C-alpha cells in the first residue's frame, strides 16, 4: 500500500477512479484491480479534502471497506447504512459525486454526512452515532415484509458501539433473526480516545494472531489423537474464544461472529464479505482498520487529523494584519472548569466523548481523578451526574446541544424532577456552519425552558460566558449555559469569577420606539441594527427565569419589541417574551427573529446567519419590513409609535 506524506495540491491522475461513475462500473472490474482503485481513491480523497476541509481520518480508514462493500453488494438495491457518517467521503466519490467533492460542506454543495435527498446510495441520513444497526434492521424487516430479496449492511465503529442503542438493536436483530450484516469497524479510535470496558475488551483482538495460530495448530495436533477428538477440539475452541476474542459476546447476543480480519487487505476482505452476503440470519464481521490509513501524519495523530481545514495556497504577498480573535468558547469553558475545580474539590467533569471538542483536555490532565469520559452514552452521562449530585458532588456535564437531545428523558426525569445540582455547559448552540442540521443546536432554548426547575442562560460574549457558568455552578439546582461553536467578539475576560443576579438582563443601548431583546451571541448584530434604527437594546442573559421587570419596562416605553435568538422561533426565548406580554396584557407590537421552522442546510456560519436573516443586515431589514407592514395597515402617515399591538408575533 502506498504511504502518502503530503496532501496533493494538484489533482492527481486517477484513470481507474475516473472511469467509475457508479458502483456498477466498479463491479465491472476484475477483483485484482481493486487495490489499484483503492490507491487512486485514497490519493483523490486527500486532494479533495485538502481543497474543502472536513472530516479526514475516518474516510481514509475505510477506503478498502467502501470498495469491498460496493463491489460485493448490489447497491443501491442492497442497502448500505453508515454510522455517524464521518467516513462517508469515499462512499460519495464512488457513488457518482466525485466531481462535486469540491463543494463539500459548502452552501448548496455536498453535505458532510450521508443525506437521503442527495443520492439514492445514501440510504439513511445520519450525523449522530449508533443509529446504523437500528436503521439497517428496519430496512431488513421491510424487505422481509415486502418479500424483496435484498440485503442490508450496517457499518459501525468501535466508539459508536458503546452506546446502549447499538446493543438494543443487536438484541432485537437476533430476536427477529433478520438477514443483515453488521460490520464492526474497529479502529481503536473514536474522535477522542476510547473509554470503557467494551473498548478494553476489543483491544484483546491484537492477540488474535496468537489465537488463530493456536486454534489452527491445536486442531491439527488433536486431530492426530486416537479415537474421536471432535468434542475436545470444540471445547478447546470455545475456551480460546472466550479468552481472546469478542466472539463470545456477540454470539451470546445471537449474531454469527466472523473475525477479526484486516480491514485494509482486500484479498481477505472481499471474499469474506462475499461469503457472508448470503448467510441467513444476523451476521457480524469484525474488521481492524487504522484511522488515517495511508497518510503518515494522520496515522501518527488520528485525533488531530479527525478533521482538517482547507489548505490555502501560500500568499504571494504578505497578508494584512488581521484583528486578533478571542479564544474559542470551548476554551472559555475549559479555563473556567479548571479554575473552578481548583477552588472546589467537589467539582467533577463529565462528557459523553466530547472531551477535546468541549475544551476539557487540560482538565482531564490536571484533574484526572475528577474527569469522566463515558464514551458515546449521553443518557448514561446525565443519570451518572444525577447520582453524583444525590451524594454531594457538583457535576458539570460538557455536551453539545444536538447531543443533549439524546439524553432528554434523563434531563427531565433524573435531574430536573429531583431538582439536582447539575451544571450543563452546552456547546455548539445555534447553527454550526459546515456540519449542517445534524449537528446544529437549534432547539435547546425551546426544549430546556419548558422544564420546571431549570435555569437557562444565553451569554452574549466570552466574559459573560465565564461569569454565567459560575452563576449556574453556584445555583442550587439544574443550570444550563449555552454557547456557540467558534470564537466570540473578543470581550475582555475577567479572571475573577462572580455570580451574576439570577434572572437579570442588562440594557446596552437606549433608543426610541423600538426595543431589541437579544438572547445570546447575536448581540453585535442587534447593536448594529439598533444604530441604524435608533433602537434600544437589552442583553437578556437569562431565558429562564426571564427578566420580566426589564421586558415590561421596555414594553411600556416602546411601541415594538423585537426578540432575537439563534434558536428555533417556536418555543424559544421570543415565545417566553410573548407569553409574558400576553399575561401582563401589554398592548405592544412584537417581532420574533430566530431560526425558521425548517432545517437550515450547511454552509459557513456567517452564510447561514445571512440566509436566516440573523446577521446585522438581516435584523435591520426584518424590522424595516415590519414597519412597512404597519404603514400599509395604518396609512402612509403612520410611525412606529402607531403600532398598537394588534398584530401577532412574526
Q: In what order do the strands lie in the sheet with 536-539?
A: 506-509, 536-539, 513-519, 558-568, 589-595
Per the annotation, the verdict on 406 as an active-site residue is yes
Coil, helix or strand for 183?
Answer: strand
Residue 589, beta-bridge partner list: 560
Catalytic residue among 291, 293, 482, 544: 291
Burial of residue 314, with CB atoms counted within 10 A of its CB: 0-12 exposed, 13-18 middle, 19 or more buried: exposed
Catalytic residue among 406, 466, 513, 544: 406
Catalytic residue among 195, 378, 565, 607: 378
38 sits in the region (left: phi over 0; alpha: psi -120 to 50; else beta) called alpha
Cell 486578533 locates to 324
- The CA distance from 138 to 232, in Å, is 40
Cell 447539575 locates to 422
Beta strands (DSSP E) in 236-293 are 256-262, 282-288
The answer to whether residues 350 and 362 touch, using CB atoms and an 8 Å cutoff, is no
- The CA distance from 253 to 580, in Å, is 53
Closest CA to 48 of 88, 2, 3: 88
The answer to whether residues 514 and 590 touch, using CB atoms and an 8 Å cutoff, is no
Closest CA to 287 of 139, 94, 96, 87: 87
The answer to whether residues 44 and 98 touch, using CB atoms and an 8 Å cutoff, is yes
The three-point CA angle 397-401-407 to 5° equals 65
Task: Quote the cell numbers at residue 547.
Answer: 427578566
Per the annotation, the verdict on 251 as an active-site residue is no
227 Cβ contact partners less than 8 Å away, ≥ 6 residues apart: none
Per the annotation, the verdict on 366 as an active-site residue is no
Length of the chain measured in residues? 650
Residue 564, beta-bridge partner list: 518, 593
Q: In what order do the strands lie in the sheet with 394-400?
A: 371-373, 347-351, 394-400, 423-427, 479-482, 455-457, 542-544
Burial of residue 96, with CB atoms counted within 10 A of its CB: 0-12 exposed, 13-18 middle, 19 or more buried: middle
Task: Quote the cell numbers at residue 258.
Answer: 466472523
- The CA distance from 47 to 45, in Å, is 5
Burial of residue 291, with CB atoms counted within 10 A of its CB: 0-12 exposed, 13-18 middle, 19 or more buried: buried
Coil, helix or strand for 607?
Answer: helix
Task: Quote the cell numbers at residue 456.
Answer: 437557562
642 Cβ contact partners less than 8 Å away, ≥ 6 residues apart: 559, 630, 634
The answer to whether residues 464 and 520 touch, using CB atoms and an 8 Å cutoff, is no
- The CA distance from 541 to 468, in Å, is 8
Alpha-helical (H) ranges within 322-391 are 329-343, 361-366, 378-390
The three-point CA angle 364-368-374 to 5° equals 70
Helix %, strand %, coil % of the chain (to 5): 45, 15, 40
User: Catalytic amino acids?
Assistant: 291, 378, 406
Amino acid at each position: 500500500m502506498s504511504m502518502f506524506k503530503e496532501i496533493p495540491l494538484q489533482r492527481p491522475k486517477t484513470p481507474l477512479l475516473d472511469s467509475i461513475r457508479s458502483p456498477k462500473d466498479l463491479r465491472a472490474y476484475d477483483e485484482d484491480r481493486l487495490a489499484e482503485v483503492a490507491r487512486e481513491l485514497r490519493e483523490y480523497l486527500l486532494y479533495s479534502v485538502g481543497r474543502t476541509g472536513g472530516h479526514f481520518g475516518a474516510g481514509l480508514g475505510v477506503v478498502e471497506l467502501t470498495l469491498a462493500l460496493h463491489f460485493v453488494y448490489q447497491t443501491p438495491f442492497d442497502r448500505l447504512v453508515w454510522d455517524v457518517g464521518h467516513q462517508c467521503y469515499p462512499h460519495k466519490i464512488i457513488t457518482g459525486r466525485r466531481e462535486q467533492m469540491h463543494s463539500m460542506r459548502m452552501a448548496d454543495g455536498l453535505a458532510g454526512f450521508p443525506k437521503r435527498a442527495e443520492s439514492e446510495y445514501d440510504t439513511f441520513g445520519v450525523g449522530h452515532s449508533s443509529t446504523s444497526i437500528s436503521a439497517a434492521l428496519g430496512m431488513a424487516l421491510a424487505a422481509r415484509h415486502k418479500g424483496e430479496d435484498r440485503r442490508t449492511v450496517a457499518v459501525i465503529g468501535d466508539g459508536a458501539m458503546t452506546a446502549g442503542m447499538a446493543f438494543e438493536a443487536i438484541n432485537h436483530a437476533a430476536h427477529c433473526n433478520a438477514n443483515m450484516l453488521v460490520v464492526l469497524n474497529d479502529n481503536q479510535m473514536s474522535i477522542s480516545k476510547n473509554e470503557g470496558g467494551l473498548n478494553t475488551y476489543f483491544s484483546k483482538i491484537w492477540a488474535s494472531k496468537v489465537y488463530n495460530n493456536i486454534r489452527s495448530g491445536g486442531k491439527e495436533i488433536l486431530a492426530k489423537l486416537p479415537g474421536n477428538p471432535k468434542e475436545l477440539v470444540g471445547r478447546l475452541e470455545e475456551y480460546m474464544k472466550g479468552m481472546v476474542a469478542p466472539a463470545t459476546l456477540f454470539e451470546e447476543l445471537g449474531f454469527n461472529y466472523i473475525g477479526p480480519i484486516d480491514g485494509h487487505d482486500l484479498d481477505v476482505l472481499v471474499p469474506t464479505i462475499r461469503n457472508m452476503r448470503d448467510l441467513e440470519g444476523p451476521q457480524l464481521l469484525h474488521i481492524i482498520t487504522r484511522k488515517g490509513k495511508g497518510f503518515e501524519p494522520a496515522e501518527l495523530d488520528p485525533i488531530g487529523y479527525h478533521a482538517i481545514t482547507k489548505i490555502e495556497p501560500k500568499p504571494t504577498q504578505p497578508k494584512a494584519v488581521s484583528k486578533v480573535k478571542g479564544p474559542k468558547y470551548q476554551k472559555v469553558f475549559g479555563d473556567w472548569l479548571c479554575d473552578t475545580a481548583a477552588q472546589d474539590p467537589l467539582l467533577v467533569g463529565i462528557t459523553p466523548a466530547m472531551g477535546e471538542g468541549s475544551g476539557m483536555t487540560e482538565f482531564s490532565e490536571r484533574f484526572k481523578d475528577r474527569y469522566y469520559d463515558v464514551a458515546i452514552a449521553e443518557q448514561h452521562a446525565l443519570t451518572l451526574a444525577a447520582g453524583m449530585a444525590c451524594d454531594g458532588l457538583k457535576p458539570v456535564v460538557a455536551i453539545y446541544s444536538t447531543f443533549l437531545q439524546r439524553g432528554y428523558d434523563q434531563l427531565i426525569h433524573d435531574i430536573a424532577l429531583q431538582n439536582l445540582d447539575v451544571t450543563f455547559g452546552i456547546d455548539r448552540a445555534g447553527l454550526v456552519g459546515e456540519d449542517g442540521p445534524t449537528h446544529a443546536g437549534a432547539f435547546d432554548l425551546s426544549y430546556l425552558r419548558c422544564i420546571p426547575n431549570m435555569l437557562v442562560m444565553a451569554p452574549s460574549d466570552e466574559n459573560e460566558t465565564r461569569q454565567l457558568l459560575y452563576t449556574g455552578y453556584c445555583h442550587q439546582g439544574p443550570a444550563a449555559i449555552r454557547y456557540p461553536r467558534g470564537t466570540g467578539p473578543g470581550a475582555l475576560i475577567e479572571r475573577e469569577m462572580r455570580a451574576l443576579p439570577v434572572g437579570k438582563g442588562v440594557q446596552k443601548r437606549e433608543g426610541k420606539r423600538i426595543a431589541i431583546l437579544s438572547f445570546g451571541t447575536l448581540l453585535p448584530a442587534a447593536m448594529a441594527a439598533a444604530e441604524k434604527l435608533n433602537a434600544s437594546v437589552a442583553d437578556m442573559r437569562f431565558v429562564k427565569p426571564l427578566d420580566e421587570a426589564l421586558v415590561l419596562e421596555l414594553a411600556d416605553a416602546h411601541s415594538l419589541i423585537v426578540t432575537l435568538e439563534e434558536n428555533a422561533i417556536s418555543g424559544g426565548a421570543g415565545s417566553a417574551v410573548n407569553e409574558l406580554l400576553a399575561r401582563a396584557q401589554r398592548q405592544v407590537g412584537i417581532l420574533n427573529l430566530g431560526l425558521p421552522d425548517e432545517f437550515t442546510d450547511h454552509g459557513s456560519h456567517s452564510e447561514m446567519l445571512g440566509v436566516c436573516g440573523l446577521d446585522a443586515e438581516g435584523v435591520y431589514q426584518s424590522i424595516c419590513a415590519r414597519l412597512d407592514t404597519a404603514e400599509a395597515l395604518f396609512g402612509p402617515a403612520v410611525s412606529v409609535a402607531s403600532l398598537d399591538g394588534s398584530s401577532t408575533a412574526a
